[in-house]
């Protein structure tokens, strides 16, 4: 039996102030919540039960997905205090104990998860765990890489340096498979799964196998990466279906509005004589008449004044008591943040 776990408790700190209003797993890619893309892949795999751990804005996530997604049953594990990627496991030990293998993914990552090849590799290798690595992800953006030998087994992982020779190094892509041996010995720890589970496992002689992929993969860890994921999704859609935008039927576009490479979500309004390019317009946002918007994220409920000319900005509502961070500006009750970090 396969059981799934999506890690959806995080604060999305690097995406603030957007994640003050939307939990990171509900951020849309191509008009669909990023965690929903993963639920679809798990359902397609044949998984019939998945758990989501909740903390930041957990009620919004529970409300969005409910108790069932198609034929995929959903359970929730609410964390009063955030427990980390390792700490998410023990409260779900009864749920996971029924599984022969557990497939785990970061709920804020957009990827066509290669579950089938990961499971096949995991079973053939008889490893304790199997990690997905990405051969094209930029190490300078995402941290240190994982060192593997010629057979794809992990020999270097953060501070752990094994005896094997590193044949190649790739970025961990946020998907795991845990076998029965690990699932039956979960400890009640908080913190990080790599430091608290995988490194001790390697130190006592356990085996971690890897699968390396080159499929589209996006960690939505910053406004820039979130916007980039959407643009690449829309580019792929344009290539396959001939359209370069994702416009909700519950939104309103004026007849002469020009929208290209853009997602326009439920309840959004784009007025006349507007140009919106390479952007995301969130639910209930309004782009005033005569505006020009390029490479922007227009947050939920934002009302851009007529004749706005904006590029490379995340625009959100102001919250009482919040201080402006470096690079942010406040105008007309809206916070303008740079898309790209300095």
Q: Which domain holds residue 262?
A: 223-338
Q: What's 169's domain CATH number?
A: 3.90.550.10
Domain count, the chain: 2
Asked if the model's pLDDT at residue 138 lies above 80, the reply is no
CA distance 261 to 63: 29
Both 51 and 152 in one domain: the answer is yes
Strands 258-260 and 49-54: unpaired
Both 196 and 242 in one domain: the answer is no
In this structure, the number of other CB atoms found within 10 A of the CB of residue 279 comes to 26
Angle subtended by helix axes 34-45 and 58-65, to nearest 10: 50
Residues in the chain: 342
In this structure, the number of other CB atoms found within 10 A of the CB of residue 329 comes to 11
Binned at pLDDT 50, 70 and 90, residue 139 comes out as low
Last residue of a domain, one of 219, 248, 281: 219
pLDDT tens-digit readout, 257-310: 999 999 999 999 999 999 999 999 999 999 999 999 999 999 999 999 999 999
Binned at pLDDT 50, 70 and 90, residue 143 comes out as low
Residue-level pLDDT at 162: 85
Over residues 214-237, mean pLDDT: 92
Over residues 8-36, mean pLDDT: 96
Both 124 and 261 in one domain: the answer is no
Residue-level pLDDT at 16: 95
Q: What's 307's domain CATH number?
A: 2.160.10
Both 294 and 333 in one domain: the answer is yes
Asked if the model's pLDDT at residue 68 lies above 90, the reply is yes
Alpha-carbon distances, residue 183 vs 94, 100, 157 (angstroms): 10, 9, 21
Binned at pLDDT 50, 70 and 90, residue 243 comes out as low
Both 230 and 257 in one domain: the answer is yes
Binned at pLDDT 50, 70 and 90, residue 322 comes out as confident
Both 236 and 193 in one domain: the answer is no
Both 161 and 19 in one domain: the answer is yes
Residue-level pLDDT at 238: 67
pLDDT tens-digit readout, 186-198: 878 889 999 999 9
Both 213 and 257 in one domain: the answer is no
SS (H, E, C) the chain: CEEEEEECCCCCHHHCCHHHCCCHHHCEECCEEHHHHHHHHHHHHCCCEEEEEECCCHHHHHHHHCCEECCEEEEEEECCCCCHHHHCCHHHHHHHHCCCEEEEEECCEEECCCHHHHHHHHHHHCCCEEEEEECCCCHHHHCCCEEECCCCEEEEECCEECCCCCCEEEEEEEEEEEEHHHHCCCCCCCCCHHHHHHHHHHHCCCCEEEEEECCCEEECCCHHHHHHHHHHHHHHHHHHHCCCCEECCCCEECCCCEEECCEECCCCEECCCCEEECCEECCCCEECCCCEEECCEECCCCEECCCCEEECEEEEECCCCCCCCCCCEEECCEEEEECCCC
Burial of 138 (0-12, 13-18, 19+ CB in 10 A): exposed
Q: Taking all residues of the chain, what is their mean pLDDT, rounded to a whole number?
A: 92
Both 187 and 316 in one domain: the answer is no
Q: What's the pTM?
A: 0.93
Residue-level pLDDT at 242: 52
pLDDT tens-digit readout, 86-119: 999 999 999 998 899 999 999 999 999 999 999 9
Both 36 and 164 in one domain: the answer is yes
Instruction: List own/partner pairs for 60-64 with CB under 8 A and 24 or more apart.
Output: 60/22, 60/23, 60/26, 61/8, 61/23, 61/25, 61/26, 61/35, 64/26, 64/33
């Amino acid at each position: 039996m396969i059981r799934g776990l999506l890690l959806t408790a995080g604060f999305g700190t690097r995406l603030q102030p957007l994640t003050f209003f939307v939990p990171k797993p509900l951020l849309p890619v191509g008009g669909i919540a990023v965690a929903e893309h993963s639920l679809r892949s798990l359902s397609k795999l044949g998984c019939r039960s998945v758990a989501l751990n909740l903390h930041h804005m957990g009620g919004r996530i529970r409300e969005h997905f409910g108790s069932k997604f198609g034929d995929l049953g959903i359970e929730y594990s609410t964390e009063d205090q955030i427990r980390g990627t390792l700490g998410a496991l023990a409260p779900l030990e009864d749920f996971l104990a029924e599984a022969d293998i557990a497939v785990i993914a970061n709920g804020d990552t957009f990827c066509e998860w290669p579950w089938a090849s990961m499971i096949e590799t995991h079973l053939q290798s008889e490893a304790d765990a199997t990690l997905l690595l990405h051969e094209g992800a930029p190490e300078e953006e995402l941290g240190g890489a994982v060192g593997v030998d010629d057979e794809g087994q992990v020999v270097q992982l953060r501070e752990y340096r094994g005896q094997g020779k590193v044949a190649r190094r790739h970025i961990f892509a946020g998907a795991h498979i845990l076998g029965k041996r690990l699932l039956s010995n979960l400890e009640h720890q908080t913190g990080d799964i790599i430091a608290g589970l995988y490194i001790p496992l390697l130190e006592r002689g356990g085996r971690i196998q890897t699968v390396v992929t080159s499929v589209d993969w996006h960690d939505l860890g910053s406004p820039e990466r979130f916007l980039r994921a959407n643009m690449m999704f829309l580019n792929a859609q344009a290539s396959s279906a001939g359209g370069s935008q994702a416009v909700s039927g519950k939104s309103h576009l004026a007849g002469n509005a020009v929208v290209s490479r853009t997602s326009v979500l439920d309840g959004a309004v784009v007025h006349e004589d507007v140009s919106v390019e390479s952007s995301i317009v969130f639910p209930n946002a309004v782009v005033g008449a005569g505006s020009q918007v390029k490479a922007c994220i227009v947050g939920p409920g934002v009302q851009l004044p007529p004749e706005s000319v904006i590029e490379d900005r995340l625009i959100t509502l102001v919250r009482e008591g919040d201080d402006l961070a470096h690079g942010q500006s406040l105008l007309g009750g809206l916070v303008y943040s740079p898309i790209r970090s300095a």
